[in-house]
Structure 1
Amino acid sequence: MSTNTKAEGLLDIRELEKLANQFFKSSGGDQPVNAGGNPAQLNDYQPSIEQLDSIPGANGLPLNLYGSAPQSSPVSGVGASSSGITQGNVIDLKDPQTSFDDPALNTARPSATENVTGFSLSGKELSSDNFKQLPYQQEQSFEKDLQVALNQIITYPHVPQIPFKPDGQAPEPSYYFLKKVPAVFSAERPKGASGIITAPFDVNIIRRDFPILGETVNRKPLVWLDNAATTQKPRQVIDRISYFYEHENSNIHRAAHELAARATDAYEGARKKVQQFLNASSTNEIIFVRGATEAINLVAKSWGEQNLQPGDEIIVSHLEHHANIVPWQQLAGKKNLKIKVIPVDDDGQIIIDEYIKLLGPKTKLVAFTQVSNALGTVTPAAQIVKLGHLAGAKVLVDGAQSVSHMPVDVQALDADWFVFSGHKVFAPTGIGVLYGKEDLLNETQPWQGGGNMIVDVTFEQTKYHNAPGRFEAGTGNIADAVGLGAAIDYVTRIGMPAISQYEHYLLVYATELLKEVKGLQLIGTAPDKASVLSFVLDGYKTEEVGAELNKQGIAVRSGHHCAQPILRRFGLESTVRPSLAFYNTCAEVDLLVDTLHRLKK
């Protein structure tokens, strides 16, 4: 339509352009909106990320492996869908026509032509809940008018970042101008809408949030492929922790002054975020610990000590990390218990029929991982939990490697306990979570005693709080719990389904290329995998491969990955383990594979 035409139900386009430019100017952006008479052209604008200018080297930060500036994000046209490779390498992973057998995919690697920055999402992955922001930015005077106008256009923009204020003083989320996000990923258009504009998953924009990705190693750009060991931290998490120490630092719960109130609000606010992230039924089911290892030890040394008797049996899987083996061995040695192991097949998948054979009247506990840290195998967790419950056992799920790669719903999973570490999901080290069913936690004796976990103490007896307080003796890791809350905010805004889909594409892409390396053997080839690629290379020790990759700035793990039993199942003592996250790119995978090819030559 012309610039002078006013579409039914919309503001005049010139009025809209004026409002939009006011908003972007106030947000620090310097790129005007030029509607050009077509509201759909607003999709060509990518909002700047607040605080980007404060990141060292932001203007020159290499946004992919080769340091090129980001391409304009490809966006599907109005009402359009993509199939296979299209302009800008947008891939619809839900399209049955898209596969790695597609000639378009085999012609050239994506990074050999353009930066792979966008993946068109489909289905019902995202909702307005993905865009609930930390409400720390003051609303501009013109913002409400702009919100009304943009709601009528039905756009799906990127999310700018915001400064921090105390969680306890936060009003209802209102700073962002699009509160109600329509069902942009469904085939059905909203009534009266002429079309839907969708925004892609843009890895280059995401990478700007991670300062360490601008680091160099051996004068090469850092390629972080050691995410299964720990993930890097976005600026939002780093800033949130700094803000806590600058404005909120205090012990919690036990004071009447202002900083204690701020710190308590921030700490308990983080607990609420974890509850929502896991879909737990109550914040009382969320206990802060140092990490997944401490969470498992807590269950072993509290519930296990209290409830297991000589002759009782504990079942674990062959895939387990040492943290889900050693505490049970210690308990078994102390109480004369028996440990049974679920075997895996040659692809690294749990053999369910063999698991069923292990279950019996003496089975009191089943403890297993949802995703293998050494192989990447995704286990049939809900099925394992249900079978364990049918046998009358309690079930613990180790989610250390799952929470950063896929949505987790503990109520649907129905596990009695679920554990994870914050540093595996872009949060600080030294903080983690034990989820437990509330009634079960309240029936369990504390494993540590001290302040904060008591109702009343006399020299004759002590009365304990209910969960979570009964398991949080002393001063906890308050600041890093707040940092965990910020990390959960970050991944929630992007959307765990979107993260999972992008990483799945990247995993399949990397797997196909690694298969082409002469003498390389992948360890762990289950059809259902998360972002782990363990391998060995003929003629090289794993540490030699790791050292050679390090020369190119590529960080991978080489060793036994604290999972010696599963590697020995495959006749190995160690593997090389690249592991992916949503800030990795096809270009980084290309460098990994090219380096391995050079090694073999």
Structure 2
Amino acid sequence: MTDIHAIRSCFPSLSTGTVFLDNAGGSQVPVGVADAARECLLHGNAQVGGSYGPSLASAGTIRAAHAFVARMSNAASDELAIIGPSNSALSRLLAGAYADTGPRDGRDHLVVCLHGHESNIGPWLALEKRGWTVVPWTDLPVAGEAYARSVTPHLGPRVRLVVFPHVSNILGSVTDARLIADLAHRAGARVVVDGVAFAPHRAVDVRALGADWYGWSTYKVYGPHASVLVGTRDAMVEVVGPNHYFIPDSAWPKKFEIGGVPQESCAAIVGLGGYLRFLADGALAPAGGVKPNSVAWGDAPIDRETITRAFDVMAAMERPLQRRLIEGMRAVPGLRILGPQDDGRDRVPTVSAVIEGRSSRAVATAANALGLGMRHGHFYSHRLVRALLPGGDPEDGVLRISLVHYNTPDEVDAAVTFLDRAARRGVD
């Protein structure tokens, strides 16, 4: 399904007049996602653990959500997918689990890429107070073999984990996560990959990447406000989740889901399946809408092949938009793109820039007043923006335009036209 009008009709918010150019901060949701959450709250809302109908339905919803995100990630098993409130929270949870478990086999060093999102940096740096040693990896996270191999000097017999982003949410570049994982594994270390900026654009495949831990956020992949952390069985057995003492250590993912997971979020996560089927095959949800107490809310559980086809459609739709945006921005006088300036497959359509002599805050504010929803700042990649703009103010930071498959060429042209005018005439 590549009919942009049919696709956009699935997203009520796209008809409000706002041009959504900040999708890397959070995507819009198709109506089926909201319908599933509403149906759960109104007709399927009960505490789990009982043998009566609504309680069993709630348990089924939670199981279905874990199955769904496991398939989305291509995890080896549903029990290896942890659902939580945010990637920041899950990263801190994971770091805490390693801190509580302690070093293993004399491995007490952590190699941490310092130029990613702070959610996957700060929690690991905090482990220095618990006796761990952080080895800073300061190369810019870009595509290609050179960056991947730049981790090699940091590896050694005491390294337990290598922590890095799959995609930079500022540069938009896709790192060679597989090569990094291979290098780390040869040195006896595991990898923790921040996949939040990758997941909206391509199908996540933790097994193909060789990732021991991989995090991504459903609210940036057309779903509700929640996040996912997927582990391998070998990685999970090395740490103990922080949930209550009477919950067995092997009770995955429950041992890592403190207080449980919101049922309405689980319902909404599974509700995304209908939209992915629509993208993959042009198939709409059956008449009558979503139903509680069905393992996939009115449909058979979505399979991995359908997920992959849906994301192939997204990538194919994004590629010309990315090309159009980058070519347009390169023609704007005084504008400097931070990150790859080509439109190859080693980047996603998240494009950051600065305009010489212009405040990023002022430009973004003027754009917002015209209904162009771009933003400015450091986007929680504070350390990276400081490195890219030495002497600059990270709070003013960069201008960022982030597209997804439901954006249109006209929206791209409107953004480029505005940037050109701002560069030539200012925004006062």
Normalising by the residue count of structure 2, what TM-score does the alignment of the two structures yield? 0.85
Q: Give ranges in structure 1 of 5+ residues lacking alignment.
A: 1-199, 216-220, 456-462
Question: What letter is aligned with 1:558?
Answer: H
- Equivalent position amino acid for 2:418 in 1: T
Mapping of residues 106-505 of structure 1, within 5 Å: 201-215=2-16, 221-252=17-48, 254-308=49-103, 312-344=108-140, 351-429=147-225, 431-449=226-244, 454-455=246-247, 463-494=248-279, 495-505=310-320
Q: Label 1:375 to 1:350 Cα distance change in 2 as closer, same or farther (>3 A).
A: farther
Rounded Cα–Cα distance in structure 2 between residues aligned with 1:443 and 1:360:
19
Quote the Cα distance in structure 2 between the aligned partners of 1:578 and 1:488. 27
Does the Cα contact within 8 Å between 1:284 and 1:438 map onto a contact in 2?
Answer: no
- Number of the residue aligned with 2:421: 598
Judging changes above 3 Å, is the alpha-carbon distance between structure 1 residues 392 and 569 closer, same or farther for their aligned structure 2 residues?
same
Contact 2:11–2:28 under 8 Å retained in 1? yes
Greater share of helix: 2
Instruction: State the match for 1:101 in structure 2.
Output: none
Residue 354 of structure 2: SS of its match in structure 1? strand
User: Structure 1, residues 26-83: CA drift from partner, whole Å, max 9, x if none?
Assistant: xxxxxxxxxxxxxxxxxxxxxxxxxxxxxxxxxxxxxxxxxxxxxxxxxxxxxxxxxx
Deviation of residue 487 (structure 1)?
A: 2.1
Contact in 1 for aligned 2:216/2:229 (Cα 8 Å): yes
Distance of aligned partners of 1:492 and 1:442 in 2 relative to their CA distance in 1, 3 Å threshold: farther
Q: Does the 8 Å contact 2:141/2:168 carry over to 1?
A: no
Runs of 4+ in structure 1 displaced over 3 angstroms?
345-350
1:490 partner amino acid: Y
1:548/1:423 Cα in 2 relative to 1: closer, same or farther (>3 Å)?
Answer: same
Q: 1:351 to 1:478 in 2, by over 3 A?
A: same
Find the counterpart in structure 2 of residue 515 from structure 1: 330
CA distance, structure 1, for counterparts of residue 174 and residue 25 of structure 2? 17
Post-superposition offset of 1:580: 0.5
The structural deviation recorded for 1:489 is 4.3
Amino acid at match of 1:300: A
Q: Render the CA deviation track for 1:110-140: whole Å, top value 9, x for unaligned.
A: xxxxxxxxxxxxxxxxxxxxxxxxxxxxxxx
Q: In structure 1, what is the Cα distance between the partners aligned to 2:252 and 2:174? A: 30
Distance 1:350 1:553, change over 3 A: farther
Counterpart of 1:536? Answer: 354
Distance 2:209 2:271 in 1: 25
CA distance in structure 1 between the aligned counterparts of 2:274 and 2:364, rounded to whole angstroms: 34
Q: Give the direction of change, closer, same or farther, for the CA distance of 1:563–1:520 in structure 2 (3 Å limit).
A: same
Is the contact between residue 377 and residue 526 of structure 1 (CA under 8 Å) also seen in structure 2?
A: no
Count of paired positions: 385
The offset of 1:235, in angstroms, is 0.5
RMSD between superposed Cα atoms in Å: 2.1
> For 2:274 and 2:180, how far apart are their aligned partners in 1?
30
TM-superposed CA distance for 1:336, in Å, is 4.1
Letter in 1 for 2:203: P
Q: Considering only CA atoms, is the larger Rg found in Structure 1 or Structure 2?
A: 1
Contact 1:385 1:415 (C-alpha < 8 Å) held by counterparts: yes
Q: What letter matches 2:227 in structure 1? A: G
Letter of the 2:375 partner, please give it.
Answer: R
**One-letter amino acid matched to 2:29:** K
Which residue is 1:549 aligned to?
Answer: 367
8 Å Cα contact 1:267/1:481 also seen in 2: yes
- Give the partner amino acid of 1:484: I
- Checking the alignment, whether the CA contact within 8 Å between 1:442 and 1:466 is kept in structure 2 is no
Deviations 1:464-510 (A, max 9, x none): 45211212232421210221122244235411011012112211111
1:489/1:278 CA distance change after superposition, 3 Å = farther
Say if 1:343 and 1:351, in contact at 8 Å, map to a contact too.
yes
AA in 2 matched with 1:325? I
| Separation of aligned partners in 2, 1:313 and 1:532 | 32
Alignment check: 8 A CA contact 2:142 2:173 kept = no
Contact 1:348-1:526 within 8 A present in 2 as well: no
1:76 corresponds to which residue?
none
Q: Paired residue for 1:160?
A: none
Amino acid paired to 1:531: P
The AA in structure 1 aligned to 2:399 is: V
Letter in 1 for 2:327: E
Alpha-carbon distance between aligned partners in 1 of 2:236 and 2:150, rounded to the nearest angstrom: 31
Structure 1 CA distance for aligned equivalents of residues 421 and 341 of structure 2: 28
One-letter amino acid matched to 1:483: A
Q: Counterparts of 2:142 and 2:252 in 1: how far apart (Å)?
A: 42
> Separation in 1 of the partners of 2:3 and 2:152?
44
Preserved CA contact (<8 Å) 1:533 1:577:
yes
Normalising by structure 1, what TM-score?
A: 0.61
Per-residue deviation, 1:382: 0.5
- RCO higher in 1 or 2 (8 Å CA, sep ≥ 6)? 2
Q: Taking structure 1 as reference, are residues 580 and 340 closer, same or farther at Cα in structure 2, changes over 3 Å only? A: same
How far apart, CA to CA, are the structure 1 residues paired with 2:5 and 2:206? 32
Query: Any idea what SS the aligned residue of 1:262 has?
Result: helix
- State which of 571, 586, 591 in structure 1 corresponds to 2:409: 586
Does the aligned pair in 1 maintain the 2:99–2:130 contact within 8 Å? no
Letter in 1 for 2:257: E
Percent of aligned pairs with the same residue?
A: 29
Task: Provide closer, same or farther for how the CA distance between residues 585 and 329 of structure 1 changes in structure 2, counting only shifts above 3 A.
Answer: same
CA distance in 2, matches of 1:345, 1:247: 46
- 1:565 alignment counterpart: 383
Tell me how far 1:314 sits from its aligned partner.
Answer: 1.2
Instruction: Write the distance in 2 (CA, Å) between the matches of 1:423 and 1:346.
Output: 25
Q: How far did residue 305 of structure 1 move?
A: 2.9
1:305–1:331 CA contact under 8 A, matched in 2? no
Deviation at residue 347 of structure 1 after TM alignment: 8.7
Any idea what SS the aligned residue of 2:157 has?
A: coil
Residue 444 and residue 526 in structure 1: after superposition, are their counterparts in 2 closer, same or farther (change >3 A)? Answer: farther
CA contact (8 A) 1:317 1:350 kept: no
